[in-house]
Amino acid sequence: MAKGKFAVLLTAVMFFATVGTVSAVDEIRVGTIGPTTGWATIFGEGALQGVKLALAERDYKFNGIPIKLFSEDTKADVEVMVTKLGSLKNRDKVHFIIGPSLGHEGMAAVDWGARNPDTPMLIGYSAPEDITMRKATYSVVRPGWTGAQVIFNFGQYCAKDLGYKKIIIVGQDYSYPWDQAAGFIRGFLENGGEEVLRIWHPVEAVDFSSIMARLASLSGEYDAVLNNSGGAQVVAFFKQWKQFGLDKKYPQILGQANVPIVSMLPELGDQALGVYSSLHYYDGNPSKANQKFREDFKKAYGHYPDVIAMQGYDAMRVAFKAMEALNGKVDDPKAFVEAVRKVKMSNAESPRGPFYFDSFGNPIQNIYIKKVVKKDGKLMNIAVKTYENVSQFGPYANMAQKYMAGPATTRDYPPGKKAEYFAEIEKWFGKDYVKNLKKNGGWK
Partner 1 sequence: MNGSDPRLIKPVLASVLTVLLLSLPWLTSDYFVMMTIRIMYFGLLTMSLCYLAGELGLVSLMQAAFFGIAGYFVAILQTRYSLPFPIPPLAGIGVAVLAAGLFGLLAIKAKGVYFLMLTLVLGQLVWALASQWASMTKGDSGITGIYAPVLFGFSAEKSKTVFYFFQLFAFSGVVWFLAALKRSPFGLMLRGVRDSETRMAMLGYPVMLLRYLAFIFAALVAAVGGVFFAYFTGLINPHSVSLTANVEALMASILGGINTLFGAVLGTGILKTLDVVLSGVTERYVLVMGVMFLVIIMFAPKGIAGSARQIWEAYKGKMLSFLALGNKTAKP
CA dist 87 and 29 (Å) reads 13
Task: Give least dist CB 81 to partner 1, A.
Answer: 9
Task: Give least dist CB 174 to partner 1, A.
Answer: 5
Task: Give least dist CB 37 to partner 1, A.
Answer: 5
Task: Give least dist CB 44 to partner 1, A.
Answer: 11
Tell me whether residue 47 or residue 372 sits nearer to partner 1 (CB atom).
Answer: 47
Task: Give least dist CB 258 to partner 1, A.
Answer: 15
CA dist 291 and 22 (Å) reads 43
Task: Give least dist CB 75 to partner 1, A.
Answer: 8
Task: Give least dist CB 6 to partner 1, A.
Answer: 17
CA dist 256 and 180 (Å) reads 7
CB–CB of 300/53 below 8 Å?
yes
Question: Which residues are within 8 A (CB) of 426 and not within 5 positions of it... i.e. 6 or more apart?
Answer: 433, 434
CA dist 289 and 59 (Å) reads 19
Q: Please provide the DSSP assignment of 247-309 as one string.
A: GGTSS-EEE-TTTT-TTTHHHHGGGGTT-EEEES--TT---HHHHHHHHHHHHHHSS---HHH
Binding site residues, partner 1, CB under 8 A: 36-37, 72-73, 76-80, 82-84, 86-87, 90-91, 103-104, 107-108, 110-112, 114-115, 128, 130, 135, 173-176, 178, 407-411, 413
Tell me whether residue 108 or residue 275 sits nearer to partner 1 (CB atom).
Answer: 108
CB–CB of 239/268 below 8 Å?
no
Task: Give least dist CB 45 to partner 1, A.
Answer: 10
Tell me whether residue 107 or residue 319 sits nearer to partner 1 (CB atom).
Answer: 107
Tell me whether residue 95 or residue 160 sits nearer to partner 1 (CB atom).
Answer: 95
Q: CA 101: distance to chain centroid?
A: 8
CA dist 310 and 319 (Å) reads 14
- Strands 344-345 and 378-390 turn out to be unpaired
Tell me whether residue 112 or residue 297 sits nearer to partner 1 (CB atom).
Answer: 112
CB–CB of 268/235 below 8 Å?
yes
Task: Give least dist CB 203 to partner 1, A.
Answer: 9
Tell me whether residue 244 or residue 413 sits nearer to partner 1 (CB atom).
Answer: 413
Q: CA 73: distance to chain centroid?
A: 19
Residue 362 DSSP one-character state: -
Q: Which residues pair with 368 in a beta bridge?
A: 279, 386
Task: Give least dist CB 41 to partner 1, A.
Answer: 11
* Identity of the amino acid at 148: A
Q: How many CB atoms lie within 10 A of CB 2?
A: 6
Residue 45 CA: distances (Å) to CA of 101, 105, 388: 10, 15, 30
Tell me whether residue 104 or residue 249 sits nearer to partner 1 (CB atom).
Answer: 104
Tell me whether residue 111 or residue 338 sits nearer to partner 1 (CB atom).
Answer: 111
Tell me whether residue 213 or residue 300 sits nearer to partner 1 (CB atom).
Answer: 300
CA dist 277 and 158 (Å) reads 10
Tell me whether residue 173 or residue 338 sits nearer to partner 1 (CB atom).
Answer: 173
Q: CA 162: distance to chain centroid?
A: 26
